[in-house]
Amino acid sequence: MISKELIKRKISTQAKELGFLDIRFAKAEFMEPEAKRLEQWLSEKRNGQMSYLENHFDKRLDPTLLVPGAKTVISLSFNYFNPESQKDESAPKIAKYAYGKDYHKFIKKKLHRLLNYINEEVGEVSGRAFVDSAPVLERDWAKRAGLGWIGKHTLLLTKGVGSYFFLAELIIDLELEYDTPVSEHCGSCRKCIDACPTEAIDEQGLVMDGSKCISYLTIELKDAMPKEFDGKMDNWMFGCDVCQQVCPWNRFATPHTEERLNPHPDLLGMEKKDWQNLEESIFEKLFSGSAVRRTKYLGLKRNIAFLKEK
């Protein structure tokens, strides 16, 4: 019989070989404190038009409703930091996570490979893989597992790493040794709060008004851009990295090594006028298989037009 500690070590080693940045383990159980916070956040309508966040409330908080008999939530991080930026500083901006291919599919394949490895090493283990595409509070599970702490900008931060990474989970019915949460290291810093162009972060930090976040406005919002944000978009046409750019912990960010996250060769060289005159054929070429396709061509054109109105 292989010990829980050895199994955990083997899983961790395999995860690193698959390209994951880090991995931690938490006990699968009902998330009572998180339930109260989520209920309050939703009651204050901070989710904007993201009504899907109101669905499957119980499943978001109880992993055994997603995987019957669940014992462990494995949280993993995957680096996406690219030190390169768009060459024309006046051009509408894209968040770094969206430079390359959509991460959901290829990271999920890696998770399935990891689950297959667990089955090979241990025997039959039931589980499911999640990559920001199901009712899983991934940031909170990562915190519980000790993958990092939740920064004042509400993103997960890892000491010596920063926040430029995706989160993913395996929920399995195998009991393992569990990790413990880490202490927070934001201290009195409030750079993210002060830098947010739309004042979406609460004055005390740790709470994000999603309906004011530039990422929400440029991706999730389907209606016309509210006039109240005219001149406050900081030239972002898809997503926003401001709170990460100003975070002192991101000085430790290192370049990713995943080829699929590299941008199309023409993307970073696009000038302001190229974006303003963007044709659908160019959109298709630049963003084939990209997360930017979520906003669709007309959505991106809407965002760019709104920036022109400044």
Could you read off the pLDDT of 58-92 as tens digits, one per residue? 999 999 999 999 999 999 999 999 999 999 999 99
Three-state SS annotation for the chain: CCCHHHHHHHHHHHHHHCCCCEEEEEECCCCHHHHHHHHHHHHCCCCCCCHHHHCCHHHHHCHHHCCCCCCEEEEEEEECCCCCCCCCCCCCEECHHHCCECHHHHHHHHHHHHHHHHHHHHCCCCEEEECCCCCCCHHHHHHHHCCCEECCCCCEEECCCECCEEEEEEEECCCCCCCCCCCCCCCCCCHHHHHCCCCCECCCCCCECHHHCHHHHHHHCCCCCCHHHCCCCCCEEECCCHHHHCCHHHHHCCCCCCHHHCCCCCHHHCCHHHHHCCCHHHHHHHCCCEHHHHHHHHHHHHHHHHHHCC
Confidence category of residue 282, pLDDT binned at 50, 70, 90: very high
Rounded Cα distance between 155 and 133, Å, is 17
Residue 166 phi, psi (nearest 5): -85, 160
Phi, psi of 177 (to 5 degrees): -75, 135
Contact 188, 26 (CB under 8 A): no
Q: Check the CA dihedral 287-292-298-300 and report its sign.
A: negative
**Phi, psi angle pair for 52, to nearest 5°:** -60, -20
Q: Residue 308's pLDDT is what?
A: 72
Which of the residues 62, 132, 202, 234 is marked catalytic?
132
What are the pLDDT digits (tens) for 123-135?
A: 999 999 999 978 9
User: Is 132 known to be catalytic?
Assistant: yes
Mean pLDDT of 4-13: 97
Tell whether the model's pLDDT for residue 249 goes beyond 80: yes
Report the pLDDT value the prediction gives residue 2, as an integer from 0 to 100.
Answer: 86
113-to-19, 78, 119, 133 alpha-carbon distances in Å? 12, 15, 10, 18
* Section 18-38 average pLDDT: 97
Calculate mean pLDDT across residues 91-104: 98
pLDDT of residue 262: 98
Residue 237 pLDDT more than 80? yes
Instruction: Give me the residue label for tokens 């309508």.
Output: 45
What confidence score (pLDDT) does residue 51 get?
87
| Mean of all residue pLDDT scores within the chain | 96
What digits encode the pLDDT tens for the residues 108-159?
A: 999 999 999 999 999 999 999 999 978 999 999 999 999 999 999 999 999 9
Tokens at 218, concatenated: 């440029």
Cβ neighbours around 171 below 10 Å, total = 22
Q: Where are the domains of the chain?
A: 1-310
Q: Helices 4-17 and 103-122 meet at what angle, rounded to 10? A: 150
pLDDT for the residue 309? 55
pLDDT of 206-217, one tens digit each? 999 999 999 999
Report d(CA 257, CA 20) in Å as an integer.
10
The answer to whether residue 100 scores a pLDDT higher than 70 is yes
